[in-house]
Amino acid sequence: MPTKEIDCPIWGNEHKATLHQEQERHEFPVTRDDLIESPRTGGMYRMETEAFIWIYPSRLNSKRQMMLTKWIYNQRKQGEGSPLVTREIVHSIVYSTNTSTPSTSKRAEMLLRYLKDRTKTISDKLPLEKFGARILIVSESLEWSEVSSLLKYLDRKGFVEHRTIKNPPKCAPVITAEGHMHVEESAVDPNSDQAFVAMWFNQEMDSTYDNGIAPAIEAAGFKPYRADREHYLGKIDNQVIAEIRQSRFLIADMTHGDDGARGSVYFEAGFALGLNIPVIYTCRKDMFKKLHFDTRQYPHIDWTNEELEMFRQNLENKIRATVV
C-alpha cells in the first residue's frame, strides 16, 4: 500500500500524518478509501473528499479542531478503528454554537479518570509519553504545557504526585490513594460514553427509538442506555439513578399517551440537570401544546413518525453541538 507524508487535514502543517492509499495518486491527496494515520488525533481516521475541501486550506480554529478530534476519539471508543469524517460531520462542527472549553477542574477530572483507568496498582507510575496525543485529547489540551498545569492542579489537590520537568510528555505521575478514592466516590464520570434515554416505554415509541434516537446517539460516538431494555437484580429506581450518574448526557423525550405526562421522564431530566449533566429535549410534534411549563422554556427537537430520518440527523447534530 503506497504511503506518503502529508499535513494532518485537521491539525495543519504543524502536525504531520501518514497517508495510506489503496493505489498511488497525485491529483488529490485524500479520498474516503484512504487511511490517515495522525499521531495528533490518536490514530487512524478516514475523510471524505468533500469534508477535506471544507476544512482545507483555511483549516478549523483550535476549538473546532479539538471538537472533531474528540468525535474521532469517541468513535474509536465505540469500536470503529478508522472513523470516517464526512461532510455532514464537519458541517455540524463548523456551525456548532457550543465551542466553550470545559472548566479547568473538569479537564483535570477527565485526565485523572483516564490515568486511573490505566493503573494496575495504586503505586503505578504512568509515563505520559506512551499514551501520546490521547492525553491531549482526553484533557482537551492544545499543548503539553496545559497538561502539565492540570497535573500541578491535581498535585495541589493531593490526587497525584507530579514532578515538574522540562519535557511534560516524558513525566510519569503517580495517582495517590486520595486520587483513587476521589474517582471511586465521584458522582459523575466526565469521560463516559454512555447516553441515558428517558422516554415513554410504549410499543408505539419503539420505532422512534430504534430509527431515530439510538442511531443518532451512536453516530455521535456514544452508547445509548434505555432502562427497560436492561435486566436488574436490584431495585430499578436505584439502578436508574446510578446509570444517570454514569452518563455523559441525557435525552429526554417528553411524548406521552392519553394517561398524561411521564413523571419519571421529568424526574430523570431534573436529576441530570442537578448533576450538571447536559439534557437534550425531544418531543413528538403534536405534543408540544401539552408540555409542562417547567420544560417548555427549553428548546425541543420535534419529530414525526413520517420524518424520523430528519429527526435522527437533527438530534445527531444537536448532540455534537452540545456534548462533543
Q: How high is the pLDDT of residue 233?
A: 39
Using DSSP's 3-state secondary structure scheme, residue 196 falls into strand
Give percent above pLDDT 70 in the chain.
90
Average pLDDT, the chain: 85
> Which residue, 113, 268, 126, 251, is CA-closest to 192?
113
Q: Is the dihedral of CA 299, 304, 308, 309 positive or negative?
A: negative
DSSP label of 86: -
If you average pLDDT over residues 61-80, what whole number do you get? 85
Across the range 34-38, mean pLDDT stands at 94
- Does 84 have pLDDT greater than 70? yes
pLDDT for 97 equals 64
Confidence of residue 173 (pLDDT cuts 50, 70, 90): very high
Q: What is the pLDDT of residue 234?
A: 40
Would you place residue 296 in the very low, low, confident or very high pLDDT band (cuts 50, 70, 90)?
low
Q: What is the pLDDT of residue 232?
A: 42
Cell of 244: 444517570
pLDDT tens for 143-156 read 999 999 999 999 99
Spatial neighbors of 14 by CB under 8 A, at least 6 apart, are none
How many helices and strands (H and E) does the chain possess? 13, 12
How would residue 165 be classed by pLDDT, with cut points 50, 70 and 90?
low
Phi/psi region, residue 304 (left: phi>0; alpha: psi -120 to 50; beta: rest), is beta
Residue 101 burial (CB count, 10 A): 13
Give residue 241's pLDDT: 84
Residue 73 has pLDDT above 70, yes or no: yes
Note the pLDDT of residue 235: 43
Q: Are 68 and 99 in contact (CB under 8 A)?
A: no
The pLDDT value recorded for residue 324 is: 61
The pLDDT score that the predictor gives to residue 229 is 64
Q: Could you report the per-residue pLDDT of 93-144, keeping only the tens digit for each?
A: 887 766 667 788 889 988 998 999 899 888 889 999 889 999 999 999 999 9
Provide the H-helix boundaries in the chain.
49-55, 62-77, 87-94, 104-116, 134-138, 144-156, 177-185, 206-208, 214-219, 236-245, 263-274, 293-296, 308-322
DSSP notation for 103-154: PHHHHHHHHHHHHHTT-SSTT-B--GGGGTTHHHHHTT-SSHHHHHHHHHHH
Q: Please give the residue that has the higher pLDDT: either 235 or 201.
A: 201
3-state secondary structure of 53: helix
pLDDT in tens, 223-244: 899 887 654 434 446 678 888 9
pLDDT digits (tens, 9 = 90+) for 181-200: 988 877 667 778 899 999 98
The pLDDT confidence band at residue 76, using thresholds 50, 70 and 90, is confident
